[in-house]
Structure 1
Amino acid sequence: MPGPPSALSPQLADEVREIFQVPPIAAEFEPLTHNPKNGVTAGVWRVSVGDRSAVLKVLTRGKDTTETWASSDDPRHWNFWRREAYVYEEGVARVWEPWGITAPELLASVERPDGDVALWLEDVRGEPATGWSTAAHAGHARRLGAAHGRALAERAEPLDHPWLSRRFLRDYTAAQTTGRDLLDDDTAWQQPLVRDHFPEGLREDMVRLRHEREWFLSVMESLPRVFSHLDQWPANLTSPHPGQSVLFDWAFAGDGALGEDIGNYIPDTIFDGFLPAARLPELATAAYEGYVRGLRDSGWQGDVRLVRLGMCASAVKYDWLTALMLSLAGDAQQLDYGGRRTVEAEHRYRERGVVLGFLADWAREARVLATELGFPH
């Protein structure tokens, strides 16, 4: 993760002066956690001047990274480098505001001479979702359901700006290739961290999910369409006031399936340790019921099995994570999201094994629901 600039460039000094109306020498830069591998993010900082602060996020297309996380110039690509700037500039980040989900205020969007874009955003203080109760997660799910439900009830066409992502789930999962060849490798499944902490039968379930990937994606692409954030998880949320969510990191936003956002939110809450895996059934029930309640509150009267199918079939997003875990099982040092701290490997594999087993159950349920609803298999 990039540290604070060692010396303010003239460009950055001008930006600080414009935002804070003070000499730039007074600014302090604190690096914030983000995915350091993502090729569209040059860095994220909290910039403080006295008792005032803002968040600086620099978008780039020239960062050296892996092929998996490379930035794209294609406006429909899941990792289009400039999407988040457009989302803020065009006000799309605030379209869910009537239902209690908003975004930081855009203070400035600066096109830099080197081609990067500097987003200066409101530094929203509140209760981070990383520490929310199950009830708070369910409240956010209800607000999200209300936003999705109103659009569907009014038969409104989903937002379709030319820079919003399309086919996110298909293209994102196709890009995640690390360890894929290990899914059918006996030795990989006998590594101690895997053998001791992944549930019995998981190998067969995850190999089947990989082999049926195209079917799951086709089902997801056939479900009702809603404008989606596509990266909803607790690290991207805070609540400054009861009944309000502030959602960050709109880099993937675009077309999604009904239930897809909540299908991402639930497992990611556990995968990165914000709730223990033992509470996954409780969270899944509360968040799903909250989402459905929001849909009904806003007037959507469709078949609830479609919602459940969208959530459960979202399990296909995570077949790559099984492969990644197989590839990392021999590493003595396991790093957290952002790569700043080490995590205890046995705890990680035990917790994630529980979630992967839960997703295998989702996949089984999705197959049954799809058959009931007449999707070909």
Structure 2
Amino acid sequence: MPEVAVADAEFREVFDSAALGGTTLVPLTHNPLNGVTAGVWRVTGGGRSAVLKVLTRTKETSVTWAASNDPRHWNFWRREAYVYQSGLAQIWQRHGIRAPRLLACVERPDGDLALWLEDVPGEPATAWPLARHVEHAYRLGAAQGAVGAGEDRPWLSQRFLRDYTAGRTTGQDLLDDDRAWRHPLVREHFPAGLREDMVRLHHDREWFLTVMESLPRAFCHLDQWPANVRSDGRDSVVLDWAFAGDGALGEDLGNYLPDSVFDLFVPAADLPGLAKAAYDAYAHGLRASGWRGDERLVRLGVCASAVKYDWLTALMLARADDEQPAYGGQGAVPAELRYRERGLALAFLADWAAEARLLAPQLGFPEAPSGR
């Protein structure tokens, strides 16, 4: 395989040695749809290991996940390399959150970029107890409170939430389709009232996005969820900085919590308790860092971030007859389990959205559009 030969040569250069018997590449789980990612592997040889992530702009994929040459676009293909090379990936390290160490960034003759990264041992957040997620939330609050919006770079993403959600339109015509809502998976596993709540969230999308874009800013990872976080025994190690850029204070936490349920890492029944404990910890971290803003703005950032998942309800309606793949295409999950857990998590987000509608006018924002 050409990929193995190229990786073997780069491995030798990175570690300044030749691996006896050659190197071994083991594919790692990632989003295979993303046009930016040519592949991710754990590479071992000679008693050493590293993670190889190859960034590309030539991979064929859907329009939704296409790589972009626009440095401000949420899926700009070179961004992760810039984040690592600039040192921004380590900007939160003194608060207990870091990235894997960059070992090398290799420009390949075909135009791709090979990121050679520290192979972080330790427990993935997909297996963490709830208390460890809460601890991570505290660290995130402390980090974002201390760093704030950070130093802008011309390749950091902007308008992430607006542009990321705009391209996800599958099934939107089904939100008002009685037959789609009568599908057995939907009827039996989506909570009562969810249809009305999710239709309203969809129709209020512009209001929510405007609120999120008007809140205090922070340097954000914008893809924090358990599959992208590990523990090295001391720090939280956050992977995959491809979307990093401008976001609202609280937006990263608002992504982390529901995503923990959507991909079945945390039971939906635990989400309300986890979300309360994690938010309290995040706010405590903010205060401990010296942040002295109005905490209601942070709460609004967390709750209004529910708009990120406006598209998910429509997708669930559209895919109710399909096999339900696990993340990264690694097998399948039971459809009943997925629809029950996601239905409960979407209902929780509907409560966040309702809280945001009540809170925003108290902080000087216009009221949300009234229900239809």
TM-score, L = length of structure 1:
0.95
Q: Distance in 1 between matches of 2:289 and 2:164?
A: 31
Q: Match of 1:17?
A: 12
Report the identity percentage.
68
Q: What corresponds to 2:344 in structure 1?
A: 354
Q: Offset of 1:61 from its aligned partner?
A: 0.3
Per-residue deviation, 1:23: 4.7
**Residue 83 of structure 2 corresponds to residue 83 of structure 1:** no
Aligned residue among 196, 200, 221 for 2:192:
200
The separation in 2 between residues aligned to 1:9 and 1:364, in whole angstroms, is 52
Residue 211 in structure 1 maps to residue 203 in structure 2: yes
Whether contact under 8 Å (2:19, 2:46) holds in the other structure is: no
CA positional deviation for 1:50:
3.9
Aligned with 2:305 (options 307, 314, 319): 314
* Equivalent pair of 2:208/2:304 in contact (CA under 8 Å): yes
- Counterpart position of 1:111: 107
Contact 1:68 1:177 in 2 (8 A): no
Secondary structure of the equivalent of 1:147? helix
Residues 1-377 of structure 1 aligned to structure 2 (within 5 Å): 6-8=1-3, 11-20=6-15, 21-23=17-19, 26-152=22-148, 158-242=150-234, 244-331=235-322, 333-377=323-367
Residue 115 to residue 357, structure 1, CA distance change in 2 (3 Å): same
Q: Which runs of 5+ in 1 are unaligned?
A: 1-5
1:3 maps to none
Note the C-alpha offset of 1:11.
Answer: 3.6
Deviations 1:158-180 (A, max 9, x none): 32100000000000000111111
Offset of residue 10 of structure 1? 5.3
CA offsets per residue over residues 217-269 of structure 1, 9 Å max, x none?
00000000000000000111111124x11000000000000110000000001
SS of the residue corresponding to residue 45 of structure 1 reads strand
Letter in 2 for 1:261: D
Q: What's the Cα RMSD here?
A: 1.2
User: In 1, distance between residues paired with 2:157 and 2:2?
Assistant: 36
2:8 and 2:23 in contact (8 A); partners too? no
Could you list the structure 1 runs, at least 4 aligned residues long, displaced by more than 6 angstroms after superposition.
none
| Cα distance in 2 for residues equivalent to 1:8 and 1:315 | 40
Shift of 1:334: 1.0
Distance 1:327 1:144 in 2: 35
Kept in 2, the 8 Å contact 1:178–1:324? The answer is yes
Q: Provide the secondary structure at the position in 1 that maps to 2:39.
A: strand
Cα separation, 1, equivalents of 2:210 and 2:11: 47
Q: Distance in 2 between matches of 1:8 and 1:194?
A: 43
Q: Classify 1:299/1:23 alpha carbon distance in 2 versus 1 (closer, same or farther; 3 Å).
A: closer
Q: d(CA) in 2 for partners of 1:159 and 1:175? A: 28
Shift of 1:9: 6.1
For 1:343, what is the secondary structure of its paired residue?
A: coil
Q: Hey, what's the Cα distance between the residues in 1 that align with 2:135 and 2:6?
A: 42
Distance 1:300 1:350 in 2: 39
In structure 2, C-alpha distance between the alignment counterparts of 1:113 and 1:141, rounded to whole Å: 41
Q: What are the Cα deviations for residues 273-295 of structure 1, in whole angstroms up to 9, with x where unaligned?
A: 11111100111011101100000
d(CA) in 2 for partners of 1:38 and 1:250?
Answer: 14
Q: How many Å separate the matches in 2 of 1:43 and 1:10?
A: 15
Report how many aligned residue pairs link the two structures. 366
Compared CA separation, residues 8 and 323, structure 1 to 2 (3 A): closer
